[in-house]
Structure formats: structure tokens, C-alpha cells
Structure 1
Amino acid sequence: MRTTGLLGATSLAGCSGLFKTKVMPQAPPLVKNRPDAVYIPTHKEGMQMGGMAKSGRYRAAVFYSYPHRFWLMSGGTAQDEKKVSIKDDDDLHLMASVWDSKTKTVLPSGNVQIDLSKDDWSATRTMWPMLSQNMGFHFGDNMGLDGEGKYTAKVKVGGLNVRRTGALEGQFGKGATLSTSFTFDKDTLEKIPFTRLDNKKGQKGAVQQMQMDMPMSHVPKKADLPGEFVGANSSGDAKFLVTTDENSDLADNTYLLVSPRTPYRRYPIPMMSLSATLKRGGKTVFDDVLNATIDPDIGFHYGADVKSVQKGDTLTVKVDSPPTISRHEGYETAFLKMPKMQFSI
């Protein structure tokens, strides 16, 4: 069911002249007393594909939806949280996704800048890395355009500074510029679904993932993680799965793998700092950071080379810095207060 709300005349006047006489969707007020967890938002939106581009093994898609509120997390805590509200001159929420053509791995790291141009108009925007319940990891921001018409989009992707392993090793250290184009018009924008979730909003849970004509960012299920399963725990409503692998190509000894993910949708959670302490009989045998890593089979995870892991060991995983990734509605109250977790080997 598609529903709409009314924007006031002041808001309409700033939208590049596109919607001065048209009723457009408006996000309902935020839920009061939102849980400190992932929750169902007040509404869900569809999206419109703009165009796709390629350069070497880089692939990128540019797509858009209605302008909407989101939250920046500069320090990863509630005190550092900043809500970005819709401005009068915002015409859309522009988004981009970047992936590897060979392994279809979404690259949830790096920097993305989009240069838009139409005739003698141009604008440049550095996109925020974001998590959305129905779109997963992507880069996005609200912005205004120069009316209807055909736009050229240059997607500038920075090289990755996160460890890459497997078929990604040695790839994506250098950035690239990918070019595409799309036509923007009000009729197409107004056909994007907009559904209020009045009967479910505020409840713990997440809306369904959108079906998209491009790879989505997921981490493996428990059964698909390599090595011996140690256990699962939760911190700040993020789920953490831990395994140890004595035969991993990613370590000289035993690979300690920590795979954080969002509940319900198994999206990776990048842009946080983790460390681990392994104790044996009261003696510390490992105490160090876990390295953020992208692997085509394991997905985005955090890991370390540990000399040995034995039955009876006690493992403590600590979130040294909560994720600073920006969030769409439904994620902004989760992954903030993240106490340490203990696992028994």
C-alpha cells in the first residue's frame, strides 16, 4: 500500500521547482521511546535505479529515493550522534553501491565521491557510508538537483585501506572513477513506493530486504563460517559470531575470526574497532587488536593470527570503538553501548 503525506508550501518552494504543485510523501514523526536496539521504522521506501558503471574490477550503481532523515555517528556513541533532517532544497536521497565484478563482493569500506553535472550545472558530494534495513550497506546523502533532465554521474572510489584476502588480495588498493548517467523526472520519483508502518513501528525487528539488480552486502550464516564454531554473543544489539581455524590461509597459526552482523538481515558492521584477549589458566596468551578484513568467502569481518587456541581457554572480545557508520531510521539507536563479550573455548 502506497501512502503519502503533505509537504508545506515552504518546503515545496525549495525543491528546484519540481514539486510546487504536487503532493509528495513525508516521513511520519519518529517513534517515541525507541528501543536501544534495531527496530521497525515508521515507514519504508523503494528506490529507483539510475545507472551502472565499471572500471577494471570495480562496479558501481547509482540509485535514488525520496529525501529522508538519517544519522551521522562521528564518534560511534549517542553523544556523538547527529540527525540529518530533510532540507527545503533536497530533491532526492542519492545512493551508490560499489562491488567487485569477479567475486560479487560488496566493498563496505573506502570513500566515495559523486560529481553530478547537467548542461552548465554541476555539484560534488562526498557520500556517507550508511546502513539501511532494506538496502544494506551503501553510500548516500540528500541533495538538490537542477530540475528534471539527464545527469552525468562520475563516481570516484578511493582505494581500500582495509585488509583484503582471498581473491581480493592485491586488488582495490588504488581508486577509480566510474561514469554513468541517469534521467531524473518528477513522475519517476513519485512512482517510488512509500509505505507507512503504523502498526509495527517501534517494535524490535527490521523490514524486509529490497530486491535489487546488484549484489547485496551480507555475511555468512553460522554454518558457512570456516573453522570450529566458538559461540555467538550480542553487544548493543549487534550479533557476534566467533570461530577458530587451524588450517586457515589467513594466518600462520590459528585464525581467530569475529563476524559481527546486524540482527535479522546479516548485514556486515564495518567502521568499528575490536580487540580480543585470550586467557589460559589465568595467564594471558593473546591480547591485541582484531584486523578489519574483507574476504569474498567470509565477508567483512575482524580477525587475528593467534599462536594457539585450546579447549578451556577464555576469550574476551571488546568493542574499543563502536561503529561510526551512518544509519537510516531503525538502526540509529543500536550499536551504541557495546559492552565486552566473553566466550568459552
Structure 2
Amino acid sequence: MERRRFLATAGALGAASTAGCAGLFETDENTSGRGGEPPLVANRPDAVYYPTHIEQMEMIGMGSVGDAKVGLMYSYPHRFWTMESAGTQRVNVQESDAVHLMATLWDGDTGTVLSVGGGLTLSITQDGEAVSGKPPWPMISQNMGFHYGDNYALDGDGTYTVTVRPGSVGARKLGAFQGRFEGLEPVDIEFEYEQATRNSIPYKTLDVQGQKGAAELMEMDMMPTSTVPAQGELPGRVIGTGSSGDADIVATVVEDPSFVDASAYLAVSPRTPYNRVPLPLMGLSATVSRNGSAVYDGGLGEALHPDLGYHYGAELDGVQSGDQVTIAVDTPPQVARHEGYEMAFLDMGAVEFTAE
């Protein structure tokens, strides 16, 4: 997929949780001067699996962009996979890469992590001279959830300025989010980079690498990570669940919703197993049949609601217990993936169930 088109389709992501720093990283091995990544696991499963290693991040800084906030972090440069027309494409670390730079955008009131329809861009300068201007990829990782990231070259130790230019949130905004996150302003964030500091970032090889499962999401006081509500916390009536391509799919119906002019609202929430990270940039459609006749047959649009989180939804007359429901995956998530996610969410069949 062409890069700019890929970035331009992003929506907005689900509600996040914040807490004190989780005990995800151990300090029992020497991490200084780390050179290279461990080899990939042989015979990786077609599912979410534990990566070869996890690493902490160095916080660069935060800023305000209109009615949203943005945070910047970096870690070691590392491999990741982009989505292309023929499948995933591995991006290897280049000799010139100094850091993997990551940006997260969120609503300061609710902690909801956002993505932007026009694509978030980063430009790096030093003493007024351009260092890099390539846009980062929207991507998912096991310990950070959804973010924007890429590997970047720097001109050695020194002071750098990163200009973050977010666009507008492209997903349909519902409830308290209606009319917000439009035309977000750029912000400059300055930071000091030292290779020695980067080399001291904690890093741990996992004994369970290659096994089905996922590393825990990082929890931080200063900024959120992206999750969607647990099944039992979704508003409305959960009518069915299923799995497709190792993604969990949860469907709920809100009767007489206050946020749309309709009798009912169907919300479908695809999320990663284990961590409930929302899966953006999908194409979904739904068919609801009653007594052999379709009462709804159409697409599900990207949407954002404070209580539903990031989801795909549509107005309809209602769903009754016993209705036959099919959720079709027309396009799998068009996001880049860190190690552990690159084998999942690719071959995604339809989910069928009888409405509860």
C-alpha cells in the first residue's frame, strides 16, 4: 500500500488506562551497549505470540495540540512489519538508524488514545537544520498498544527539536467527542539525545518467546496506552462474540441511544487478545437476519465514543434475541506491527453468531 494513502485512512482509538509504572522490565541483565536484536523465532504461530524481547522507553516530552495532548518517546531502533498489498513487509534496522521514535496522541479529559485521519507527521531539526521529515507509521505493539512510530537517523549526541503535526481525527465522533479533535495544531518538543542514555534503556530477552500470548501493556502516570472497554464494561447489550485471525470480536447493541438519531446502534469492537488493544483501519460489514430475511445489511464505519471506545458501528432498527448475525472482515487492520503481532490479524474470516 502506498504510504501516504495508508496514513490518510486512520481513525480514532479507544479509551485507555493509566497507572504507576508496571513491573514489565527486569534489571537483572546488562543492557548497556546492546548490539542488534535476537534472531526471530523459528516457526512463529499464525497468532499473537510473545516476542523475543521487550524494552523500555526514554520519555522525550509532551505537548498540547488544541484539545488533545501528544507524548514522544524513543527506544532502540528495531524491526517491524508494514502492511502492503501482497501482505506484510518486514522493515529492518539500517546502520544509520539511531532510535525508534514513537508518538502517542490522546484526549486529556478521558485518556482516550487517538489516531488522526490526515496522518500524523514528525519533522526533526537540529540548530534549525533538517535532520528527518519522514512520517511515522500508525502501528501496534504489545507493550505500547497503538502509536505512531518509525526508525530515525540522528546526527549524533546533541539537542533536537521534533515538530509534531497532527491532522484531524477521521473517525465519526459520538457523544461528548462530537465536534472535537479538528484541525489540531502542531507543537515543537525539544530533547537532548545521548547515545549512552539510549544504550542504558532496560532490555530483556523473554524465555517464553514464540509461545502464544502477549507481553503486558506498559502503564505510565504521564500518558495513557490504548485499550478498549472489557466486554462486561461495554454499554448496551452484548449480543455476541467471536474470533477472527486471532482477534477478539465483541458486538453490542445500544437501544434508544442518545448519541445518534436511531432506534438502536450496533457497535462492533475488534481487539487484540490478552491486552484489548483496538484494531484500527479495518473494513467491516454486518448482516442481521430474522426469520430468513435480512433486517440490516451494510457497512460499519469507524467511530469513537467515550464509553464504547474505538469501534465500528451503524444505526439500525434493532437486534432481537435469536437473530442471526454475521460480521464480515472486508479489510484486515492496515497498521504496522511490532514483533509478536505480525503473524496475526491477516487471514480474517467472518464471525457468525445467534444474537443473545
TM-score (norm 1): 0.91
| Secondary structure of residue in 2 paired with 1:263 | coil
Distance of 1:249 and 1:237 partners within structure 2: 33
For 1:61, the equivalent position in structure 2 comes to 71
| Secondary structure of residue in 1 paired with 2:196 | helix
Task: Measure how far apart 1:56 and its partner are.
Answer: 2.1
* CA shift digits 1:310-341 (9 cap, x unpaired): 22210000000001100000000000010101
In the alignment, is residue 231 of structure 1 matched against residue 231 of structure 2?
Answer: no
* CA shift digits 1:102-143 (9 cap, x unpaired): 222110343111111111431212010010000111000001
For 1:46, the equivalent position in structure 2 comes to 56
In the alignment, is residue 101 of structure 1 matched against residue 108 of structure 2?
Answer: yes
| Secondary structure of residue in 2 paired with 1:38 | coil
In the alignment, is residue 261 of structure 1 matched against residue 271 of structure 2?
Answer: yes
Distance of 2:302 and 2:331 partners within structure 1: 13
More divergent stretch after superposition (66-75 vs 249-258): 249-258
In the alignment, is residue 342 of structure 1 matched against residue 352 of structure 2?
Answer: yes
Distance of 1:87 and 1:4 partners within structure 2: 24
More divergent stretch after superposition (112-121 vs 328-337): 112-121
| Secondary structure of residue in 1 paired with 2:71 | strand
1:243 to 229, 249, 252: 252
| Secondary structure of residue in 1 paired with 2:251 | strand
* CA shift digits 1:176-220 (9 cap, x unpaired): 2012111100221112111111x2010000011112220111100
For 2:127, the equivalent position in structure 1 comes to 119
Matches within 5 A, 1:81-92: 81-92=88-99
Task: Measure how far apart 1:25 and its partner are.
Answer: 3.5
| Secondary structure of residue in 2 paired with 1:264 | coil
Matches within 5 A, 1:1-345: 1=27, 3=29, 23-75=33-85, 79-110=86-117, 111-122=119-130, 123-197=132-206, 199-212=207-220, 213-251=222-260, 252-345=262-355
Distance of 2:301 and 2:28 partners within structure 1: 44
| Secondary structure of residue in 2 paired with 1:343 | strand
Task: Measure how far apart 1:250 and its partner are.
Answer: 3.4
Distance of 1:125 and 1:168 partners within structure 2: 30
| Secondary structure of residue in 1 paired with 2:97 | coil
Q: Which amino acid aligns with 2:135?
A: T
| Secondary structure of residue in 1 paired with 2:114 | coil
Distance of 2:78 and 2:30 partners within structure 1: 14
Task: Measure how far apart 1:4 and its partner are.
Answer: 6.4
| Percent of matched pairs sharing the same residue | 45
Q: Which amino acid aligns with 2:103?
A: A
| Secondary structure of residue in 2 paired with 1:31 | coil
Distance of 2:238 and 2:203 partners within structure 1: 41
8 A Cα contact 1:46 1:192, kept in partner: yes
Distance of 1:4 and 1:42 partners within structure 2: 16
Work out the number of aligned pairs and report it. 325
Distance of 1:80 and 1:176 partners within structure 2: 34
Q: Which amino acid aligns with 2:303?
A: T
Structure 1 residues without counterparts, runs of 5 or longer: 6-21
CA RMSD of aligned residues (A): 1.5
Describe the shift of the 1:227–1:320 C-alpha distance in structure 2 as closer, same or farther (beyond 3 A). same
Task: Measure how far apart 1:153 and its partner are.
Answer: 1.1
Q: Which amino acid aligns with 2:246?
A: D
Q: Which amino acid aligns with 1:26?
A: G
Distance of 1:118 and 1:3 partners within structure 2: 34
Q: Which amino acid aligns with 2:105?
A: V
| Secondary structure of residue in 1 paired with 2:297 | strand
Task: Measure how far apart 1:2 and its partner are.
Answer: 5.5
* CA shift digits 1:232-291 (9 cap, x unpaired): 110000001111111222331111111111000011100001000011111111100011
8 A Cα contact 2:137 2:149, kept in partner: yes
Which 4+ runs in 1 deviate beyond 3 A? 1-5
8 A Cα contact 2:116 2:166, kept in partner: no
More divergent stretch after superposition (115-124 vs 273-282): 115-124
Higher relative contact order (CA 8 A, sep 6+): 2
8 A Cα contact 1:109 1:270, kept in partner: no
